[in-house]
């Protein structure tokens, strides 16, 4: 695999004196925010746990940005290790326990467009409100935060082409509604907000399951007891 210097054009290399090391400083002017396109795809959802206040899912994160320092004249997409280029370190703010499934790398187009993808599986925290159980609808979310940058340093742009969710989920007792993505600053430390983006979707509990499995048997038991007393 080629090393980073081979991907930097001669013109870009001459500009590194003012732009900084391409692996440690964000591209462009320090006075202007770096634009990052972000997509969140809910690939699988397997469980919503009322007691733990969590849900189990598989999520694909897609991020892209332009770094002219990495432009190259090969005419082909190049692959680099993530730590070889500047990248907006991302965390899932509401994770309970997640595991990254893809190798940490990026693809670099000839024009300097950088593309990063990662798939996470595991548990995320969900603030479930159960006062309407079993006729409840819950709001679940994936909250991405960029802990190193404020909203004035990176401009998050939702990427609708890589955002969405699967049409079928293997989660019992719930119907999952199509979600939406929105940009929102995320509280990171006390009094500090960081750039962030949220994918939020609704989960509606199947009421028929509880009618047939719980309420109906209870009604039959009550009728049986009442009938025995009257006899």
In eight-state DSSP terms, residue 84 is G
Note the pLDDT of residue 133.
77
Count CA within 13 A, CB hemisphere, residue 4. 17
Using a pLDDT cut of 70, give the percent of the chain over it: 84
Token readout for 230 is: 């009257």
Q: Is 175 helix (H, G, I), strand (E, B) or coil?
A: strand
Residue-range domain boundaries for the chain: 4-230
φ, ψ of residue 84 in degrees (nearest 5): -90, -10
Instruction: Enumerate the β-bridge partners of residue 139.
Output: 202
Note the pLDDT of residue 222.
75
Note the pLDDT of residue 15.
33
Contact 159, 62 (CB under 8 A): yes
Which residues in the chain come in under a pLDDT of 70? 1-22, 208-216, 219, 227-231
Note the pLDDT of residue 2.
33
Contact 117, 87 (CB under 8 A): no
In tens, the pLDDT along 173-192 reads 899 999 999 999 998 888 89
Note the pLDDT of residue 188.
83
Note the pLDDT of residue 229.
61
Note the pLDDT of residue 6.
31
Note the pLDDT of residue 207.
73
**Strands 113-125, 105-108: pairing kind:** antiparallel
Architecture of domain 4-230: Distorted Sandwich (2.70)
In tens, the pLDDT along 93-140 reads 999 999 999 999 999 999 999 999 999 999 999 999 988 777 789 999
Note the pLDDT of residue 8.
34
pTM > 0.75: yes
DSSP 77-125: -EEEEGGGS-----EETTEEEEEE-S-SEEEE-TTSEEEEEEEEEEEEE
Q: Is 231 helix (H, G, I), strand (E, B) or coil?
A: coil
């Amino acid at each position: 695999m080629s090393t980073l210097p081979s991907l930097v054009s001669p013109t870009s290399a001459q500009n590194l004196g003012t732009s900084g090391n391409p692996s440690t400083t964000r591209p462009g002017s320090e006075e202007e925010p770096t634009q990052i396109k972000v997509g969140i795809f809910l690939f699988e959802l397997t469980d919503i746990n009322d007691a733990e206040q969590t849900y189990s899912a598989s999520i694909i994160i897609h991020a892209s940005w332009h770094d002219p320092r990495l432009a190259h004249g090969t005419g082909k997409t190049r692959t680099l290790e993530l730590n070889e280029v500047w990248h907006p370190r991302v965390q899932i703010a509401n994770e309970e326990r997640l595991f990254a499934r893809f190798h940490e790398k990026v693809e670099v187009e000839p024009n300097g467009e950088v593309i990063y993808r990662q798939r996470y599986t595991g548990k995320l925290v969900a603030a479930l409100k159960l006062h309407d159980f079993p006729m409840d609808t819950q709001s679940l979310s994936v909250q991405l935060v960029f802990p190193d940058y404020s909203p004035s340093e990176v401009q998050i742009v939702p990427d609708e082409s890589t955002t969405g969710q699967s049409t079928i989920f293997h989660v019992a007792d719930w119907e999952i509604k199509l979600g939406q993505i929105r940009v929102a600053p995320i509280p990171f430390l006390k009094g500090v907000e960081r750039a962030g983006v949220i994918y939020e979707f609704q989960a509606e509990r199947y009421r028929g399951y509880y009618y047939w499995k719980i309420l109906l048997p209870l009604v039959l038991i009550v009728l049986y007891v009442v009938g025995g007393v009257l006899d």
